[in-house]
Amino acid sequence: QDGLKQCLAEFRQQLTWVERLDVTLGPVADPVSQNASTSDAVDPENDFQREMSFYRQAQAAVLEALPRLRKLQVPTRRPDDYFAEMAKSDQQMQKIRQKLKSKQEAMERSEKAKQLRAMRKYGKKVQVEILQRRQKEKKNMLNAVKKYQKGLSDKLDFLDEEQTSSQGNKKGNASQRTKKGPNAKRRYKNQKFGFGGKKKGSKWNTKESFNDVSSFQSKVAHNKGPGKGKGGKGGKKALNKRPGKRARQKMKNRAR
């Protein structure tokens, strides 16, 4: 230890501070440091903390030294028109700038992609909503029209632009139904499934249709018509011409 001190004493040079430009200072106080207790013991394993402590130490040194230098009239700032060789060549700096730019671009691209995806999702949602709304409107409109056709309501609120008022009036005068109208259950079902659920009902066997013999043609019924329209009635005649299964089999047996 004494040897060290002696050696140091011999070795030390007497130089002005300007020559040496050394500063011994601890790091600048960190405004965002969590607790003061841990600021002393910088964990060397924690890379970020370590590098930040080095950075702050350098900052402290700079903050202390620059004013001194300025007082001693040593220039510190490089004027803008002073061009000299730099430690790293321009090519190197170009490479560095390229790398930084590419990193930034990659980040931006990923951000854009994310935004696009989010927007697409939103757009899709909006589109779906619009379609659903249109369908609902259409359904309502059709229901209202059907109501007219059945003659349940005589208001024309849904027909703002259309010109079917004449038709509506006719239907309206025809019936002045009672308030109840169809059953509650019927009404509920109508509302749920719409009026279009029941078809025309034109093929029912009602009393009227049973007693209606207007579509009877005796010639067709007795199969005595001329081949008036072979296309029209040909199918039936052809069918009648063919004997039945039993008759056919008899014929076959007889033939054998």
Partner 1 sequence: GKWKNKERVLIFSSRGINFRTRHLMQDLRTLMPHSKADTKMDRKDQLFVINEVCEMKNCNKCIFFEAKKKQDLYMWLSNTPQGPSAKFLVQNIHTLAELKMTGNCLRGSRPLLSFDPIFDREPHYALLKELFIQIFSTPQYHPKSQPFVDHVFTFTITDERIWFRNYQIIEEDASLVEIGPRFVLNLIKIFQGSFGGPTLYENPHYRSPNMHRRLIKLSVAAKFREKQQVKEVQKIKKKGTKVLVEEDPTEVVFETPAEEKPVEIQLVKPESKPIVKDKKKLRKIQRKKQKKLFRTER
Interface positions with partner 1 (CB under 8 A): 1, 3-5, 7-8, 10-13, 15, 18-26, 42, 44, 50, 53-55, 57-63, 65-66, 69, 74-78, 84-88, 92-93, 95-96, 99-100
- Cβ contact 30:56 at 8 Å: yes
Type of residue numbered 127 = Q
DSSP SS3 for 180:
coil
How many other CB atoms are found less than 10 A from the CB of residue 171?
A: 16
Minimum gap (Å) between residue 109 Cβ and partner 1:
20
Type of residue numbered 102 = S
- CB nearer to partner 1: give 18 or 141: 18
- CB nearer to partner 1: give 42 or 152: 42
How many other CB atoms are found less than 10 A from the CB of residue 53?
A: 19
Token pair for 26: 């601890």
CA distance 30 to 55: 11
Q: Which residue, among 250, 244, 150, 252, has the nearest Cα to 194 in the 3D structure? A: 150
- CB nearer to partner 1: give 96 or 119: 96
Minimum gap (Å) between residue 35 Cβ and partner 1:
19
Minimum gap (Å) between residue 7 Cβ and partner 1:
5
- CB nearer to partner 1: give 75 or 229: 75
- CB nearer to partner 1: give 103 or 112: 103
- CB nearer to partner 1: give 25 or 156: 25
Q: Which residue, among 180, 191, 65, has the nearest Cα to 140 in the 3D structure? A: 191
CA distance 50 to 43: 7
- Cβ contact 220:236 at 8 Å: yes
Burial class of residue 233, CB neighbours in 10 A (0-12, 13-18, 19+): middle
Minimum gap (Å) between residue 108 Cβ and partner 1:
19
